[in-house]
Amino acid sequence: MDPQTSPQNFNLQNQIQTGSTPTPTPLPTRSKTVCFLPILLLVLALVVWGFFSEKKITGLDVATRTTNFLDKTLQADGGMLGGMVCAKDSTVCEPMQVNENQPHLGQAIYGYYTLAQATGDSSHRVKADDAMNYILDECQGNVEMCAWNFFPLSRYYFDTKDDRYLQAMLRPAFLTMSSKDIVGQNAGHKLASLYKATGDENYRAKLVAVAEEELLNWPRSVNEYEYSIQVVWSVLLPAYTATQDAKYLRASEQFFDSFDLAERFSKLRAIEVAIKGADALLSLSEVSDRGEVYWGQAHAVLQEVLENLWDDPETPIINGDYGFLDITEDKAVLKKTLNNGWLIKLFVIMKDEKFTLSNDK
């Protein structure tokens, strides 16, 4: 049809010729419901996607938020609680006193100290210093306070060269300890630090003797992997640091190449084994030619710990106070000062790494 003579145009022309005012043809209207529906569907899709999608968090954010729990263990005199004991199927957690025979607060102090360095937040350093002064005072009358808090003592000494810390480091009788106790009480690290601080060959000789004794039975059975982690972390890697003898490094690599610690943790949920393993892997990543492999393994272990045992408020397990849980053999639920401080330190080391937060635990 000719557009000039279409019904619509003909009507318009007729109106013009007769002088009448044309009536506009109304535009078709759309249902408001039809217009609103796509928007509603889009909003719902975004909400569902946000709920089910994984959320990312940096190692530094994990470390910083975990201090919300650790701060609850601080005492007015500078000391710290041993942690919290939490009731199952409840939000109630009660204070847990420090074990007098193993008053291990050192990793918590170390955690605050390293976090202060990473963030520049002086409040973390104040907490570390207060607890460190408490340790110095207490270990004058209790040598176990020096022995079990050796790590921050050595860190403070190497950073400040203040003789107070060195004298506290020298008080425990590490040279007279048995090989079994050297391994079990993490004294290999302490012997290496004392050798570095004093140059006394007796400390290195003691460490090497224990390392050689362990290599006689290396590698151990896969069923002894917890003990092997302890040996690598507490003896073999410190021995390599003190001697630069590659056999200690090779033995450490051989062990971690033989199994997947993250997979093993996902089955057993042994948090202290995972922590020591991750610490050993991070140390190994600094000295091995395949450092990126061990860095990645440490990331995988910490991801499992974060996903399964971090009591964050978005997916709370007990009360959502950002504490890491330790599920013991008798099924008690603990949040240990030691473990939380140690994990702060490890996540600070991996401060720029991204971790995934699960929407379900």
Alpha helices in the chain (DSSP H): 7-18, 32-52, 59-70, 106-119, 122-138, 143-147, 150-160, 163-170, 179-184, 187-198, 201-215, 225-231, 237-243, 246-257, 261-268, 271-287, 291-309, 337-349
Residue 336 bridge partners (DSSP): 83
Cβ atoms of 82 and 326 within 8 Å: the answer is no
Farthest CA pair distance, the chain: 121
CB count, 10 Å around CB of 13?
Answer: 13
Model pTM? 0.84
Cβ atoms of 321 and 72 within 8 Å: the answer is yes
Q: Cα 259–338–102 angle (5° rounding)?
A: 105
Q: Is 194 exposed, middle or buried (CB count within 10 Å of its CB: 0-12, 13-18, 19+)?
A: buried
Give whole-number Cα distances, 156 to 92, 190, 289, 353, in Å: 36, 14, 30, 27
CA 312/CA 323 separation, integer angstroms: 7
Tell me which residue of 62, 44, 24 sits closest to 314, measured CA to CA: 62
Q: What is the pLDDT along the chain (361 residues), one digit of tens a residue?
A: 444 444 444 343 444 344 444 454 554 544 544 455 656 655 565 444 444 557 999 999 999 999 999 999 999 999 999 999 998 778 889 999 998 888 989 999 999 999 999 999 999 999 999 999 999 999 999 999 999 999 999 999 999 999 999 999 999 999 999 999 999 999 999 999 999 999 999 999 999 999 999 999 999 887 789 999 999 999 999 999 999 999 999 999 999 999 999 998 877 778 999 999 999 999 999 999 999 999 999 999 999 999 999 999 999 999 999 999 997 656 678 999 999 999 999 999 999 999 999 776 6
Q: Is 330 helix (H, G, I), strand (E, B) or coil?
A: coil
Is the preceding omega at residue 26 within 30 degrees of 0, hence cis?
no
Cα 21 to its chain centre, rounded Å, is: 79
Sign of torsion over alpha carbons 204, 99, 338, 358: positive
Residues in Cβ contact with 136 at an 8 Å cutoff, skipping those fewer than 6 apart = 164, 165, 168
CA 306/CA 297 separation, integer angstroms: 14
